[in-house]
Structure 1
């Protein structure tokens, strides 16, 4: 184990066994400051520094965020495949997953989402329900913002990418969303819809783009911050 006062010369790509988690070190000359994220594929915490000489400070920073890292890793581990007895987030509320006792498709009654089947069959039925709900939400809100923008003929689809919430191909008027957004707060999902619709007009992240997002959605900053703070945990569901 290493301490915060260690003078070890760390290297780009090095992986450290921290107190309860693995920490990967990265150097990115384009980074403006030290940053920390979780890698959903490896389960590692990744800390990035602008220069090699900043890695010691980056390690110290990561260690101060130990509780945050372990908390998110625990959520990622607990989530996984959908099973009866789980509580899952759903548009800002919580749903309890139960077994219907038969092979029926998933049904939502109040705050309870029930389905039949065992193991993967149960998991697929729950995921199918969530995907449909996500598609319905995305289509409705995309149409709402597209009308404000004066755009017509926009198509909506879902994807399963880890680490991305949406994508827009302006030339084809095609927008894709992560189906896991159905497990985010409703305002967050709405923000992503406005964000992607704004790309139909501005295929970049210029000041004009963000001004368009604000015109369509309002103050987007809290929703954007929610994704940065809590979004990682959602990628653990259905993994």
Structure 2
């Protein structure tokens, strides 16, 4: 439906969406990328929704102040890789190298974000495939394929066709967190729900999962703060 700018200091861009299922006007500020969305029920005039957003201008600005600032991935920034923050610096040669507490990226500085995203995706695929294979073998169930996405609402999923999907940003989290998510999704190969039996299966595969699960709740949004220019 487009967007509306709420004037003030600072101005706030509000994205408008209409929903047939919504029963009332609602404003949401994403905890992942600070996007502001105004949802309008079917039949509600856009002007009414805009007036509602204008009334909530102070609340919106307060919510946005509490959200972590987005950070472009470029030379000089610090980027988490497998739970450790590494400085992104210029490097020699042609290949990105992780060494001596730094990520060395050769070539055009304007391509740093895209090149690092590609490297992290390669690392994520290798680590997630290995963990998924290990847990699937322990479970005695096969999966059909693995795909990686930059999902915002979930860290992984398992479809009814036994396809596993993961967020590639898990490679930025500590290794035990990535392993927990892999065990969680593989457990769905046997239990397509979140029943007590499902959680018992996760514990059988991974062990005590409360610490990595809590880490994701408390720190997961930090992984979405980094923008790679993609």
TM-score between both structures, scaled by the size of structure 1 = 0.67
In the alignment, the residues of structure 2 paired with residue 208 and residue 49 of structure 1 have an alpha-carbon distance, to the nearest angstrom, of: 39
Q: CA deviation at 1:89?
A: 1.3
Contact 1:47-1:58 within 8 A present in 2 as well: no
Computed over aligned residues only, the root mean square deviation of the Cα atoms, in angstroms, reads 4.0
Query: How many residues are aligned here?
Result: 215
In the alignment, the residues of structure 2 paired with residue 226 and residue 175 of structure 1 have an alpha-carbon distance, to the nearest angstrom, of: 24
Q: Does 1:131 align with 2:121?
A: yes
Classify 1:212/1:49 alpha carbon distance in 2 versus 1 (closer, same or farther; 3 Å): farther
In the alignment, the residues of structure 1 paired with residue 174 and residue 191 of structure 2 have an alpha-carbon distance, to the nearest angstrom, of: 26
Contact 1:194-1:216 within 8 A present in 2 as well: yes
In the alignment, the residues of structure 2 paired with residue 47 and residue 19 of structure 1 have an alpha-carbon distance, to the nearest angstrom, of: 19
Which of 30, 33, 36 is 1:45 aligned to? 36
Classify 1:98/1:148 alpha carbon distance in 2 versus 1 (closer, same or farther; 3 Å): same
Q: CA deviation at 1:233?
A: 1.7
Q: Does 1:223 align with 2:212?
A: no
Post-superposition CA distance 1:59-108 (Å, at most 9, x none): 77645434223x3xx22xx32xx432221111221111122234x11111
In the alignment, the residues of structure 2 paired with residue 191 and residue 238 of structure 1 have an alpha-carbon distance, to the nearest angstrom, of: 28
Unaligned segments of structure 2, at least 5 residues: 45-51
TM-score between both structures, scaled by the size of structure 2 = 0.69
Contact 1:86-1:97 within 8 A present in 2 as well: yes
SS for the counterpart of 1:65 is: helix
Post-superposition CA distance 1:147-181 (Å, at most 9, x none): 3322246543323445543232343x332222222
Contact 1:49-1:58 within 8 A present in 2 as well: no
Structure-2 residue corresponding to 1:195: 184
Post-superposition CA distance 1:101-132 (Å, at most 9, x none): 34x11111121111222145544432332122
Structure-2 residue corresponding to 1:98: 89
In the alignment, the residues of structure 1 paired with residue 15 and residue 119 of structure 2 have an alpha-carbon distance, to the nearest angstrom, of: 36
Structure-2 residue corresponding to 1:168: 158
Unaligned segments of structure 1, at least 5 residues: 1-12
In the alignment, the residues of structure 1 paired with residue 126 and residue 153 of structure 2 have an alpha-carbon distance, to the nearest angstrom, of: 22
In the alignment, the residues of structure 1 paired with residue 213 and residue 39 of structure 2 have an alpha-carbon distance, to the nearest angstrom, of: 23
Q: Does 1:147 align with 2:137?
A: yes
In the alignment, the residues of structure 1 paired with residue 38 and residue 199 of structure 2 have an alpha-carbon distance, to the nearest angstrom, of: 27
Contact 1:92-1:184 within 8 A present in 2 as well: yes
